[in-house]
């Protein structure tokens, strides 16, 4: 039965990829594919369908899964993504983004000659921020609000700017990461000890390789795209932000970076306040929005204009819901379909019976979980499916548990950045008006090189 289920997963995934390539509506394709796999899991009696509140009918339970997925996303990441998307739209409407670009151009004038260097430097800076803000989609959208317009203003393409922002969230590292917590538990260490003794020694050299590969990859594809569009230079939409002085006070330039500054300032890992002040991303966005409204009110001295500007926030939230949140929900249903048919379990089972050495099997596992994260659009889902099995497998292979857990944990989060259905890819691409598929394609080649280096370096230094 497991063979049939595995083949069904492959078949459904293949057709899904074909229809996405043909640019059919991705929400419809992914949701329909996920529901088909959930139905097959029921028919084959592989996994029962268990919504939190069953309706009493299998048919309605399928629809209930969709409803609960929507509710779960809206109460968690969905609301956060919508508020950030609304805030980005509000910043554009009041020209605060233009003010940020204008202010940034003088101190960053050196990087006008080397824009790809500026883009590449974003990667390690973003990774440091990711430790204090352990939400890939959340940090990605915060960087879209603050760093993205500056990078585009310096002269890189929109895809390049988004590519390095996605790369900033490659590694689920730091004590606050859910994957770090599970990995540390599996090998019997604290989160902090696992981060310092295992994650950092592998992440630091891999980050240098990531930066190098993304630098050359983005420069190559931008030149290729520029050559293809050479006849359309005058209408090129790649530089929507202007460095000319906007018709607002330049202090407005602080507003796009205010939410990120608040999250860093009040992060428990920075530890500036005792007792600590807990601030999540949505609260930081709403607080920044109200501060921004005060700025707009003081500037316009007109209540009508201030509240008219406020409406752009709600429109931005609605646009992000329609384009981003719905796609994340559809992707999650697709992921649930794969899991319900035992896709991950089948991959693990087949991999352990191919007769390779311990290190070779570990390398194969790392590549498999990388691909699984690409398919499922979630590093957490991929690693949480594989993770609990790893200590036992490592024992059978005569290897220490961390030798399997560490590369697979990092591989899962790397695969997320190459997935067109991952929350961060969908979110940042949707807000910036870029195709998630094009962004995932842009990231794939350097990520494949990076994962190969990570595997090789880990087992050479083991």
Please state the pTM of the whole predicted model: 0.80
Residues 300-325, mean pLDDT to the nearest whole number:
87
Question: Tokens at residue 62, please?
Answer: 């399928």
The maximal CA–CA distance of the chain, rounded, in angstroms, is 74
Question: Does residue 39 sit in the same domain as residue 103?
Answer: no
Question: Does residue 43 sit in the same domain as residue 188?
Answer: no
Residue 275: CB atoms within 10 Å: 5
Q: Kindly tell me if the per-residue pLDDT of 231 is higher than 60.
A: no
CB 136 within 8 A of CB 247: no
Question: Does residue 104 sit in the same domain as residue 60?
Answer: no
Q: Could you give the CA distance from residue 426 to residue 420 in angstroms, rounded to a whole number?
A: 7
Question: Tokens at residue 205, please?
Answer: 């050299």
Tell me which residue has tokens 């883009």.
119
pLDDT for the residue 210: 95
CB 141 within 8 A of CB 132: no
Nearest CA to 182 among 331, 47, 461, 382?
Answer: 382
pLDDT classification of 442: cutoffs 50, 70, 90: very high
CB 46 within 8 A of CB 1: yes
Q: Could you give the CA distance from residue 412 to residue 403 in angstroms, rounded to a whole number?
A: 15
Question: Does residue 254 sit in the same domain as residue 319?
Answer: yes
Residues 191-208, mean pLDDT to the nearest whole number:
91
Residue 105 belongs to some domain of the structure: yes
Question: Does residue 153 sit in the same domain as residue 298?
Answer: yes
pLDDT for the residue 236: 47
pLDDT for the residue 271: 67
Q: From 325, 347, 375, give the residue that closes a domain.
A: 325
Please count the structural domains in the chain.
Answer: 2
Residues 225-251, mean pLDDT to the nearest whole number:
64
Residue 233 belongs to some domain of the structure: no
pLDDT classification of 116: cutoffs 50, 70, 90: very high
Q: Which domain holds residue 189?
A: 74-227+242-325
From residue 1, alpha-carbon distances to 319, 340, 347, 446 in Å are: 43, 13, 14, 37
Q: From 263, 295, 325, give the residue that closes a domain.
A: 325
Q: What is the pLDDT of residues 84-107, one digit of tens each?
A: 888 888 988 888 888 888 787 777
Residues 24-36, mean pLDDT to the nearest whole number:
88
Residue 129 belongs to some domain of the structure: yes
Question: Does residue 47 sit in the same domain as residue 163?
Answer: no
Residue 237 belongs to some domain of the structure: no
Question: Does residue 288 sit in the same domain as residue 414?
Answer: no
The 3-state DSSP composition of the chain as helix, strand, coil percent (nearest 5) reads: 75, 0, 25
Q: Kindly tell me if the per-residue pLDDT of 251 is higher than 50.
A: yes
Spell out the long-range contacts of 190-194 with Cβ–Cβ below 8 A and sequence spacing 24 or more.
194/402
Question: Tokens at residue 350, please?
Answer: 């087949």
Comparing 56 with 302, which gets the higher pLDDT?
302
pLDDT classification of 220: cutoffs 50, 70, 90: very high
Nearest CA to 163 among 115, 215, 111?
Answer: 215
Least reliable range by pLDDT among 66-80, 227-241, 317-331, 369-383: 227-241
Residue 67 belongs to some domain of the structure: yes
Q: Could you give the CA distance from residue 407 to residue 275 in angstroms, rounded to a whole number?
A: 36
Q: Kindly tell me if the per-residue pLDDT of 51 is higher than 60.
A: yes
Q: Could you give the CA distance from residue 447 to residue 249 in angstroms, rounded to a whole number?
A: 41
Tell me which residue has tokens 């063979």.
3
Q: Could you give the CA distance from residue 369 to residue 416 in angstroms, rounded to a whole number?
A: 10
Residue 234 belongs to some domain of the structure: no
pLDDT for the residue 250: 83
Question: If DSSP codes are grouped into helix, strand and coil, which group holds residue 53?
Answer: coil
Q: Could you give the CA distance from residue 303 to residue 36 in angstroms, rounded to a whole number?
A: 52
Question: Does residue 63 sit in the same domain as residue 112?
Answer: no
Total number of residues shown for the chain: 462
pLDDT for the residue 290: 93
The count of C-alpha atoms lying within 13 angstroms of the C-alpha of 65, restricted to the half-sphere facing its C-beta, is 25
Nearest CA to 447 among 344, 363, 371?
Answer: 371
What ranges make up the beta strands (E) of 183-280?
none
Q: From 294, 310, 325, give the residue that closes a domain.
A: 325
Q: What is the pLDDT of residues 376-427, one digit of tens each?
A: 787 777 787 777 878 887 887 788 888 889 999 999 889 989 988 888 898 8
From residue 355, alpha-carbon distances to 245, 347, 359, 438 in Å are: 65, 14, 12, 37
What radius of gyration, in Å, describes the C-alpha atoms of the chain?
A: 23
Mean pLDDT, the chain, rounded, equals 84
Q: Kindly tell me if the per-residue pLDDT of 149 is higher than 80.
A: yes
Q: Write the Ramachandran bin of 206: left for phi over 0, alpha for psi from -120 to 50, otherwise beta.
A: alpha
Question: Does residue 304 sit in the same domain as residue 446?
Answer: no
Question: Does residue 321 sit in the same domain as residue 371?
Answer: no
Q: Could you give the CA distance from residue 127 to residue 135 in angstroms, rounded to a whole number?
A: 11
Phi, psi (degrees; rounded to nearest 5) at 371: -70, -35
Residue 236 belongs to some domain of the structure: no
Residue 280 belongs to some domain of the structure: yes
Question: Does residue 57 sit in the same domain as residue 108?
Answer: no
Question: Does residue 249 sit in the same domain as residue 125?
Answer: yes
Nearest CA to 117 among 192, 214, 209?
Answer: 214
Residue 44: CB atoms within 10 Å: 16
Question: Tokens at residue 12, please?
Answer: 């459904």
Q: Could you give the CA distance from residue 337 to residue 34 in angstroms, rounded to a whole number?
A: 5
**Residue 422 DSSP one-character state:** S
pLDDT classification of 354: cutoffs 50, 70, 90: low
Question: Tokens at residue 348, please?
Answer: 């693990």
Measured N-to-C along each axis, helices 326-340 and 58-73 cross at an angle, to the nearest 10 degrees, of 130
pLDDT for the residue 355: 64
């Amino acid at each position: 039965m497991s063979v049939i289920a595995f083949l069904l997963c492959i078949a459904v995934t293949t057709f899904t990829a074909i229809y996405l390539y043909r640019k059919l509506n991705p929400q419809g394709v992914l949701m329909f594919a996920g529901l088909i796999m959930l139905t097959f899991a029921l028919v084959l009696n592989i996994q029962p369908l268990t919504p939190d509140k069953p309706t009493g009918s299998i048919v309605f339970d399928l629809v209930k899964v969709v409803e609960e997925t929507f509710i779960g996303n809206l109460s968690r990441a969905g609301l956060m993504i919508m508020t950030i998307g609304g805030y980005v739209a509000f910043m554009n409407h009041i020209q605060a983004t233009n003010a940020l670009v204008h202010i940034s151009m003088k101190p960053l004038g050196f990087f006008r000659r080397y824009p790809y260097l500026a883009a590449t430097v974003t990667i390690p800076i973003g990774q440091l921020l990711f430790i204090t803000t352990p939400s890939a989609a959340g940090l990605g959208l915060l960087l879209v609000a603050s760093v993205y317009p500056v990078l585009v203003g310096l002269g890189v393409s929109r895809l390049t700017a988004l590519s390095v922002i996605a790369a900033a969230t490659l590694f689920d590292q730091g004590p606050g990461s859910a994957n770090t917590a599970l990995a540390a538990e599996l090998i019997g260490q604290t989160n902090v000890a696992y981060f310092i003794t295992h994650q950092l020694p592998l992440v630091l050299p891999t980050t240098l390789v990531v930066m190098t590969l993304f630098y050359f990859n983005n420069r190559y594809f931008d030149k290729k795209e520029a050559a293809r569009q050479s006849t359309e230079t005058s209408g090129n939409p790649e530089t929507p932000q202007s460095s000319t002085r906007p018709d607002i006070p330049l202090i407005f330039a602080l507003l796009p970076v205010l939410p990120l500054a608040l999250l860093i300032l009040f992060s428990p890992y920075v530890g500036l306040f005792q007792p600590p002040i807990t601030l999540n991303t949505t609260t930081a966005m709403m607080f920044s929005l109200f501060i921004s409204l005060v700025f707009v009110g003081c500037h316009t001295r007109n209540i009508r204009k201030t509240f008219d500007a406020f409406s752009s926030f709600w429109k931005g939230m609605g646009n992000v819901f329609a384009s981003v949140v719905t796609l994340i929900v559809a992707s999650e249903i697709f992921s649930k379909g794969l899991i319900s048919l035992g896709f991950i379990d089948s991959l693990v089972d087949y991999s352990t019976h191919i007769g390779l050495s311990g290190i070779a099997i570990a390398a194969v596992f790392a590549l498999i979980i990388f691909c699984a994260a690409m398919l499922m659009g979630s590093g957490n889902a991929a690693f949480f499916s594989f993770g609990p099995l790893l200590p036992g497998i490592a024992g059978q292979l005569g290897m220490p548990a961390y030798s399997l857990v560490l590369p697979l944990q990092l591989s899962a989060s790397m695969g997320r950045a190459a997935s067109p259905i991952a929350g961060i890819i969908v979110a940042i691409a949707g807000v910036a008006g870029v195709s998630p598929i094009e962004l995932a394609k842009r990231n794939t080649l350097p990520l494949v090189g990076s994962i190969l280096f990570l595997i090789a370096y880990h087992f050479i230094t083991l």
